[in-house]
């Protein structure tokens, strides 16, 4: 079946602009996660959605970052007033339920100039 | 606090040899660990996982060993192939019960 998909695959934006990153999880997966991977680093947890429960936003680095998940499926990560330090690969993952193995999408490479 | 780290940033092995990638963790309460493989330009790919009530788990050509006494995790790849060249990450499920804490990764290079 189809895996996790993300769009766009690459995004170049000017400092100060807003960006939206999209994630389509695996069909039927109730849990969705966003992570950030800076160059040569491991993944940093950003936010977690589980069903209709309130998301865990504890990993978001600043209030410029927000995310939503509509209809329990597609998720959008929004970064407002982008800064150069926001440049990274943003990865989305989904799992069939909380605590199970997470399946990752290919990521969106964000470059802020 | 929680942390996950890797002993070696790079590992070079010859095709056909066995590879061992090591990982240390600091949270003794961690109950679930995962190894991921990440090829260039792709997202991490699940390899194998292990729960803290186990010491060893085997998959196809891969074995994960967990030593809770010294808080050490290893991934063994048998008969390493060129297609195994990638960055390997260990991760632990943190205290939240769902978010994963990742190490920085070990780059595995398989030479012919």
Q: CA nearest B71: which of B90, B45, B47?
A: B90
Alpha carbon of A18 to those of A5, A12, B94: distances in Å?
A: 21, 11, 31
Q: How far apart are CA B7 and CA B20, in angstroms?
A: 11
Please tell me which of the candidates A50, A58, A104 has its beta carbon nearest to residue B43. Answer: A104
Q: In this model, does residue B1 exceed pLDDT 60? A: no
Nearest residue in chain B measured CA to CA from A109: B41
Question: CB A33 to CB B45 under 8 A?
Answer: no
* Mean pLDDT across chain B: 90
Question: CB B44 to CB A106 under 8 A?
Answer: no
Which residues of chain A lie closer than 8 angstroms to B104, CB-CB? 40-42
Q: In this model, does residue B8 exceed pLDDT 80? A: no
Confidence of residue B5 (pLDDT cuts 50, 70, 90): low
Q: In this model, does residue B6 exceed pLDDT 50? A: no
Q: Give the pLDDT confidence of B9-43 residue by residue, as tens digits.
A: 899 999 999 999 999 998 888 899 999 999 988 99
If DSSP codes are grouped into helix, strand and coil, which group holds residue A79? strand
Q: How many residues does chain A have?
A: 113
Instruction: Concatenate the DSSP letters of all residues of A83-110 into one string.
Output: -GGG-EEEEEEEESSTTSPPEE---EEE
Q: What is the dihedral of CA A34, B43, B95, B54, to 10 degrees?
A: 160
Which residues of chain B lie closer than 8 angstroms to A48, CB-CB? 96, 98-99
Mean pLDDT, residues A21-40 taken together: 93
* Mean pLDDT across chain A: 93
């Amino acid at each position: 079946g189809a895996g996790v998909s993300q769009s766009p695959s690459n995004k170049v934006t000017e400092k100060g602009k807003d960006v939206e990153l999209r994630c389509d999880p695996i069909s039927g997966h109730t849990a969705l996660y966003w992570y950030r991977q800076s160059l040569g680093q491991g993944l940093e947890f950003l936010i977690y959605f589980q069903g209709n429960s309130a998301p865990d936003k504890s990993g978001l680095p600043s209030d410029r970052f927000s995310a939503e998940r509509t209809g329990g499926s597609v998720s959008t990560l929004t970064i407002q007033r982008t800064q150069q330090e926001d440049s990274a690969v943003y990865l989305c993952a989904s799992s069939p339920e909380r605590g199970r193995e997470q399946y990752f999408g290919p990521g969106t490479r964000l470059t802020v100039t | 606090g929680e942390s996950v780290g890797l002993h070696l940033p790079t590992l070079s092995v010859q095709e056909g040899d066995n590879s061992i990638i090591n990982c240390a963790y600091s949270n003794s309460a961690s109950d679930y660990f995962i190894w991921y493989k990440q090829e260039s330009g792709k997202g991490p790919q699940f390899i194998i996982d292990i729960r803290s009530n186990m010491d060893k788990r085997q998959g196809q050509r891969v074995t994960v060993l967990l030593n809770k006494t010294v808080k050490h995790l290893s991934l063994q790849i048998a008969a390493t192939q060129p297609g195994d060249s990638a960055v390997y990450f260990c991760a632990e499920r943190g205290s939240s019960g769902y978010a994963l804490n990742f190490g920085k990764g070990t780059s595995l290079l398989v030479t012919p």
